[in-house]
Chains A and B, each alone.
Chain A
């Protein structure tokens, strides 16, 4: 083999690059069954089917945002009943800290909701004029 030290250096660099997930976390990768750690929701039925909700809940919130802000629609009928178009509707069943936030942190998803809205774990209370 010609230029052996350089070639070995190259192969080692290649292997180190390949092992990137291990060294960026300093070997600290924890396998977690997130579904066992999430708080069980209180209600029976979610707004739509559970499977649909787990993938598309953000699309629903988008739809709600436009319906509420642009058209003033505050009621959302589905097969599972009529729901208020509000985030607090979610928190009637789901615990924010132990359900929404926990899974989002696990997934490293950072929704931009809280740039404008307040959530239960913030100091200011959510203004929920629907309960008046």
Chain B
């Protein structure tokens, strides 16, 4: 029996390995995709005549160089500024715009609560525990005023945030339409982790000494004794297993927005269309101005037709079209 329990010791290593490899794979994959067009979205005054006033908010919203684009990125990542502008989602009957910034409120509550929760969990993974971890926990529990053990605010706030973010996908018709099973899956994982964690702290209490010894054994690569594994609480094992499953699932999920946000072209490009020329990386000869060209070049072939007719189209995508035709689909030009 005790041998089987070593699954729980191996599980986090497998999960972390999948997580690191998956994240790096996806980052490299995104970095290999070209951005053919310059498409920054702006909400501020771009540099113009000197007499047109331009505040620092304009500089963030319409960055004209790499530095301000970086500042905008930082504001985006830490304050979710584009979500804060989420005010025109619902157009009501009278043509009035509804303010849906509550989404920003609950998103920021949820994300920062999760951050504090992760930092608080360092108390299991460090020995001796650094001072700032205990300080954060002390402040999080409102300096121990409420109950014993102190009710940690971030745990409650994360649960409230999660309830709204999931409730939004369940009860609002439009969001329900565009929600994929994977959206619900990751929220389900988060719900199981949060609820089991809160239960472990306030209701069904585990012997934490074994939990910490287990956590230390993972972080120091020191296999735990069978005694430690045998004494782990069943609810802790549920909590822990779901954390591992979630970590392994992250690279395949939408949670990859933590890396993807840095790659969003509408956010990370400076708005310098008129100062610097953006060269399409796919363009084989960028020196020739587009309007002066005879046709378009695809895969080394020049197609000298400005208005695309069927023959040219067939020439361009011969391989794919033939493959489609092989599967008994009838291909014919559109009747005009």
Chain B residue contacts of A41, Cβ below 8 A:
none
| A interface residues, tally (CB under 8 Å) | 40
Chain A stretch 12-27: residues in CB contact (< 8 A) with chain B: 14-15, 18, 20-22, 24-25
Pairwise interchain contact A11-B213, C-beta atoms closer than 8 A: no
Q: Smallest Cβ distance from A107 to chain B, in angstroms?
A: 5
26 pairs, A vs B, C-beta closer than 8 Å: A1-B31, A2-B33, A4-B31, A11-B24, A15-B20, A21-B219, A24-B122, A24-B130, A24-B132, A24-B133, A29-B216, A29-B219, A30-B220, A31-B216, A31-B220, A33-B213, A33-B225, A55-B207, A55-B233, A103-B209, A106-B212, A107-B123, A108-B123, A108-B134, A108-B137, A109-B208
Q: Does A127 contact B (CB under 8 A)?
A: no
Nearest A residue to B209, CB-CB:
A34
Contacts A25-B130, A29-B216, A32-B213; A20 near B122 (Cβ below 8 A) = yes
Chain B stretch 208-228: residues in CB contact (< 8 A) with chain A: 208-209, 212-213, 216-217, 219-220, 222, 225, 227
Nearest A residue to B70, CB-CB:
A6
Pairwise interchain contact A62-B148, C-beta atoms closer than 8 A: yes
> What mask results when residues 105 to 120 of chain A are scored 1 for a CB within 8 Å of chain B, else 0?
1111111100000000
Complex alpha-carbon distance, A61 and B227, angstroms: 28
Q: Smallest Cβ distance from A131 to chain B, in angstroms?
A: 26
Q: Smallest Cβ distance from B128 to chain A, in angstroms?
A: 8
Chain B residue contacts of A35, Cβ below 8 A:
209, 227
Pairwise interchain contact A30-B127, C-beta atoms closer than 8 A: yes
Complex alpha-carbon distance, A8 and B308, angstroms: 41
Pairwise interchain contact A2-B24, C-beta atoms closer than 8 A: no
Q: Does A58 contact B (CB under 8 A)?
A: yes
Pairwise interchain contact B207-A29, C-beta atoms closer than 8 A: no
Nearest A residue to B137, CB-CB:
A108
Complex alpha-carbon distance, A112 and B144, angstroms: 7
The 3 nearest A-B residue pairs measured at CB: A108-B129, A55-B205, A21-B125
Q: Does A76 contact B (CB under 8 A)?
A: no
Q: Does A83 contact B (CB under 8 A)?
A: no
Pairwise interchain contact A108-B133, C-beta atoms closer than 8 A: yes
Q: Does B35 contact A (CB under 8 A)?
A: yes
Nearest B residue to A54, CB-CB:
B207
Chain A residue contacts of B23, Cβ below 8 A:
14
Chain B residue contacts of A51, Cβ below 8 A:
207
Chain A residue contacts of B34, Cβ below 8 A:
2
Complex alpha-carbon distance, A58 and B262, angstroms: 46
> What mask results when residues 59 to 79 of chain A are scored 1 for a CB within 8 Å of chain B, else 0?
101100000000000000000
Instruction: A31-B217, A54-B207 given; name 18 further pairs at CB < 8 Å.
Output: A2-B281, A10-B27, A24-B122, A25-B130, A31-B127, A31-B222, A32-B127, A34-B209, A54-B209, A55-B205, A55-B206, A55-B233, A106-B127, A106-B212, A108-B123, A108-B133, A109-B208, A112-B144
